[in-house]
Amino acid sequence: MTRLQLWLTRYEKQIAVVVMVICLVSVFTLKLSRKLMPIVVAIFASSVHTLAKRRSLTVIAGLLMLFVAIYATGGHILLTEEVHLTPLSPLADVDASVLLGGDHIRVHTDERCFNVTVCFYVADTDLCVIAAHSCETQAGETVKVLLVPFSKSGSEPPDWCPVFDPNATDAEVLLDSDYGVILSGIQPPRSGPDELPIGKPDDIGPGEEALLHTARSGVLPAEIKGFWLSRNGHLIVAQLTGKEPKILSGFSGSPVVQNGKLIGFLAATHAVPFRGPQIILVRPACDVYNELLLSSGHANLEP
């Protein structure tokens, strides 16, 4: 054995501890790429094996380190490696205007209750679109709904699904899809909601500010990062700016306005925990309007 080999053998456990610390520090301080992250996790797991000499403990430590790495870098990987400045396939190009939503809506079915947000109202009709994702309701189903008006400073909705509220009214589900739910029998709970044009694909500006209209927290500023192609179509990726409140349950469907045009509706938050401002996933308004218009066949959705 050479002198170096003897030294490495003698201090292998101390070296393993140092390597583990370096791996942890790199995960939390460096912006690791998708390719580099598993290498760091493997080195960490190997160091644990050097200390413990137990395969089960090595596997557990590797999985924990993987979770920590995803927690620390998942958002960065999404923004830098999966988000594109232009859509990977064409978005719908629609020419329509709607009444701005943002109102909290509580929906009671025969089996459950859920809270979401109104995406928009269709002018001169009793139709509205909510949630920007499926709510697992059935077309033709009658539900009870309670609306709480949007305000720029935020509003406090009633208790989360309490005993049935006597102020609730009937509404009919016309369509439930991945793009949202169409309800009939709904009127805006506030007078004179803004009428805004649906943003065309070219109106969505990555790198520019947009405003998220939430029922409980008012208007929240966000920066549009780009487009992400998910298994259910394109989503706009945005990031909240400043020290604003986090996205809460019931915010699905909250409208996103950019340069006076309605560009999308909150569909989800980034599923992977991460450090820094919260990342939100927004369903493009042009796709929501176009998909529901084509799928429903309801002439009343025509502008």
- Reading the chain (303 residues) residue by residue, the pLDDT tens digits are 687 777 767 778 888 888 888 888 888 777 777 778 888 888 888 888 888 888 888 888 888 888 888 777 766 677 777 788 888 888 988 889 999 999 889 898 888 888 899 999 998 888 999 999 999 999 889 998 988 776 655 555 555 555 566 778 899 999 999 999 999 999 887 666 689 999 999 999 999 999 999 887 888 999 999 998 888 788 999 988 866 666 777 899 999 999 999 999 999 887 565 566 788 999 999 999 998 876 666 545 544
Report the pLDDT value the prediction gives residue 303, as an integer from 0 to 100: 45
CATH 2.40.110.10 fits 197-293, yes or no: no
For residues 83 and 88, give the distance between their C-alpha atoms in angstroms, rounded to a whole number.
10
Residue 271: CA count within 13 A, CB half-sphere: 2
pTM of the model: 0.78
Q: Strands 255-258, 261-269: parallel, antiparallel or unpaired by DSSP?
A: antiparallel
* Residue spans of alpha helices (H) in the chain: 3-10, 12-29, 36-52, 55-77, 285-296
Domain 98-193: CATH architecture, name and number where available: Beta Barrel (2.40)
In which residue ranges of the chain is CATH 2.40.10.10 found? 197-293
